[in-house]
Amino acid sequence: MKTLFDKIWDTHIVSKLESGSDVLYIDRHFIHEVTSPQAFAGLRQRGLPIFRKEKIIATADHNVPTLNQHLPISEKLSRHQVDTLIENCKLNDIELYGLGHPYQGIVHVIGPELGITRPGMTIVCGDSHTSTHGAFGCVAFGIGTSQIEQVMATQCLILNKPKTMRINIEGILQKDISAKDIILFIASTLTTSGGTGYFIEYAGSTVRALSMEARMTICNMSIEMGARGGIIAPDETTFKYIKGKPFAPKGAMYEQALDYWKTLYSEKDASFDKEYHFNAADIEPMLTYGTNPGMGIKISQTIPHVQEVNNPLELEKSLAYMGLKSGIPLVGLPINYVFIGSCTNSRIEDLRIVAEYVKDKQKAPNVQAMIVPGSKQVERQAKAEGLDKILEAAGFELREPGCSACLGMNEDKIPPGEYCLSTSNRNYEGRQGPGARTILGSPLTAAASAIAGKIVDIRTINS
Amino acid sequence: MEKFNTIQSSAVPLPIENMDTDQIIPARFLKATTREGFGDHLFRDWRYKADGSPNQDFILNNSVYKGEILVAGKNFGCGSSREHAVWAIYDYGFKVVISSFFADIFKSNALNNGLLPLVVSDDFLHLIFTEIEKDAATKILVDLKQQTVEIAHQQTVFEIDSYKKMCLLNGYDDIDYLLTLKDKIEQFEKEQVLF
């Protein structure tokens, strides 16, 4: 019997190669300014047109400033890259939600919030966090620029079908534990390569109880375990989220779509190549201490010793970079930077959680707290709810949408040697700027730590 | 894409596990709109100190080690999907990366650019590192047609997808093949009901 992933993958096979690879049809293709220019150039060189321009949606996010977006981009190379996207979209008649557009934002935030991302689809983007869209019960994964060109030319990719993995999480989460803690917990168990070669389905009562925003946070970080994608079976929560979104099917079409979407689940006796089981009650606020997202600990734990890990060399090197030591806890570590944003945690729900906590509080004087909404829609919603006022009163700087300090392509960088408690997805060396030391955590842990000026366990504060 | 057949070369050892694409090429160097010139920024923050001077401790700055083959630790190329990582490695002059495990997207990007991601066992990888340590000039012979890799008279067979092998040997890429399927693709579109 078929898994959810099999159902979608198999209905998108156009042809099979003798080698066993599949030619897979792609329903939606998101593009952005950083990984698309060479694909457009490649097509031009071959003299090929865009095959299905209506299936491509473009936005500018990776390389845009998060202040004064109404002004021309001051950094020359960034401006050129964004201008190249504008020109390529214009020449090829592709829908662009660029700077100044009411729909602009991080590509993995805008697809879902516009109702472009829907159950049963195959979705690709030249960005590894395309796995985010899997929260809607679609097969979504990141691709390289050569593959962007292939999809532009033929709407298809030649792929080997990944193996399937199911991660079951059962039970009720402790108070103040969020989706970010769940996925950092799973990553700390599976490690940064534990999902490589697999497509992960997240299932179980804990997942069923999560909002769409939370499900996106989980699927988003599937790639941090090496998995090409993550997927969650669509249910009433999904259908309710999609209904009424700008590009969602309407009227009779919606009803028809609903009938189909309801068939998208793994059959009872479907078999997976690998399966894991976790208990929600075991999950605490999670933090990373090292230089890959699998190097995480529960907030009550201490940084492991070399004898306790599989890769002692990597641990030593990571800790030297991070300026940390084995055997110490992270709680109490002074931090000067907090970044709340990225395709992992920049949605309205994240901003609400942060605003609710920091209301009538003041950030510590040593902390610079940057909060970057995932999209113009999120920004507008936050303002409509008065969250901007609350955040600003607490000393948090609400910026304009973009990928920002998650990858430090624009001006939003963390200085060398400084700790940043970040709600983003990667803590690699130099990820947030050369020499920057990233500690990944949930929006609530980030907010509470910004107020305290050091890392705190939210449970001891809220108890 | 350039054709790939056999390569005999000394190699550069980089025995670090979980080498992510942010290390291979940091995001701040992704601002170009062409594929050229990324080799200058390969392993940028490892190769150069903050003041821009070369870090003599890093292997690429050690003139003893050179060649068209990079030998890397397990889970090479994890993280971001940036194809710039592959362009940087290729532009620098490598034609093969040998490791015991590659991240998925990196592997597919490499194959799409004529860079061979060659998977060997942990033991054979260890053997390669040991032989290079003994003698930096040791040559590795990679024969794609035979799917063999040889160092110091020890040989092993490696796996590669038969379609991708054919592409590499002939210098074809996926678009060449996909364009021949246009009728099938259009037929698929006609029959598909998309919600």
Contact B27 A48 (CB under 8 A): no
d(CA B85, CA B77): 8
> For A163-282, CATH number?
3.40.1060.10
The residues with which A454 forms a beta bridge, in sequence order, are A334
Judge whether A344 and A334 are in contact, CB under 8 Å: no
User: pLDDT digits over A24-76, tens only?
Assistant: 999 999 999 999 999 999 999 999 999 999 999 999 999 999 999 999 999 99
CATH H-level, domain A289-462: superfamily:
Aconitase, domain 3 (3.30.499.10)
d(CA A332, CA A418): 15
Contact A434 B173 (CB under 8 A): no
Query: What is the amino acid identity at position A216?
Result: M
Strand ranges of the sheet holding A229-231, from the earlier edge strand across to the other edge: A229-231, A198-203, A163-170, A274-279
Q: List alpha helices for A16-103, DSSP H.
A: 37-46, 76-92
Share of chain A above pLDDT 90, in %: 99
Nearest to B173 among A21, A146, A256 (CB): A146
Which class is domain A12-159? alpha beta
Give B114's contacts (C-beta < 8 A, 6+ positions apart): B1, B2, B3, B4, B90, B95, B168, B171
**Statement: residue A315 has pLDDT above 80:** yes
Share of chain A above pLDDT 70, in %: 100
Task: For residue A35, give the chain B residue with the closest CA.
Answer: B82
The residues with which A142 forms a beta bridge, in sequence order, are A125
Which one has a higher pLDDT value, A244 or B195? A244
Domains A12-159 and A289-462 share a fold: yes
Nearest to B75 among A37, A193, A434 (CB): A193
Task: For residue A85, give the chain B residue with the closest CA.
Answer: B33
Query: What is the amino acid identity at position A458?
Result: I
* Residue A160 CA: distances (Å) to CA of A24, A265, B188: 10, 22, 19
pLDDT at B194: 87
d(CA A453, CA A158): 50
**Statement: residue A187 has pLDDT above 80:** yes
Provide the shortest C-alpha distance from residue A329 to chain B (in Å). 24
**Statement: residue A11 has pLDDT above 90:** yes
Q: List alpha helices for A370-434, DSSP H.
A: 376-384, 387-393
Give A133's contacts (C-beta < 8 A, 6+ positions apart): A108, A111, A112, A117, A121, A123, A140, A216, A219
pLDDT at A462: 75
Nearest to A118 among B17, B193, B195 (CB): B195
Judge whether A225 and A430 are in contact, CB under 8 Å: no
Contact B179 A154 (CB under 8 A): yes
Of all helices (H) and strands (E), which one includes residue B7?
strand B6-9
- CB contacts, 8 Å: A23 with chain B: 178, 181, 184-185
Q: Is B170 on the interface with A (CB under 8 A)?
A: no
Task: For residue A151, give the chain B residue with the closest CA.
Answer: B175
pLDDT at A461: 87
Scan residues 23-62 of B and list those with Cβ closer than 8 Å to A: 23, 26-28, 30-35, 45, 50
Judge whether A294 and A190 are in contact, CB under 8 Å: yes
Scan residues 122-151 of B and list those with Cβ closer than 8 Å to A: none
Helix, strand, coil percentages for chain A (3-state, nearest 5): 35, 20, 45
d(CA B41, CA B88): 7
Query: What is the amino acid identity at position A393?
Result: A
Q: Is B177 on the interface with A (CB under 8 A)?
A: yes
Residue-by-residue DSSP string for A266-301: --TT---SEEEEEEGGG---EEE-SSSTT-EEETTS
3-state secondary structure of A448: helix
pLDDT at B195: 87
Mean pLDDT in residue range A119-137: 98
User: What is the end-to-end Cα distance of chain A in Å, rounded?
Assistant: 47
Q: How many residue pairs bridge chain A and chain B with CB atoms within 8 Å of each other?
A: 188
Residue among A9, A38, A61, A161 with most chain B CBs within 10 A, to mutate: A38
Predicted confidence pLDDT, tens digits, chain B (195 residues): 899 999 999 999 999 999 999 999 999 999 999 999 999 999 999 999 999 999 999 999 999 999 999 999 999 999 999 999 999 999 999 999 999 999 999 999 999 999 999 999 999 999 999 999 999 999 999 999 999 999 999 999 999 999 999 999 999 999 999 999 999 999 999 999 988
Delimit the domains of chain A by residue range: 12-159, 163-282, 289-462
d(CA B55, CA B59): 9
Residue among A48, A295, A428 with most chain B CBs within 10 A, to mutate: A428
Mean pLDDT in residue range A296-311: 96
d(CA B136, CA B13): 9
Lookup: tokens for B151: 């160092």
Mean pLDDT in residue range A176-205: 98
Contact A128 B27 (CB under 8 A): no
- CB contacts, 8 Å: A18 with chain B: 162-163
Task: For residue A223, give the chain B residue with the closest CA.
Answer: B79
d(CA A303, CA A267): 41
Contact B189 A25 (CB under 8 A): yes
Complex confidence, ipTM: 0.97
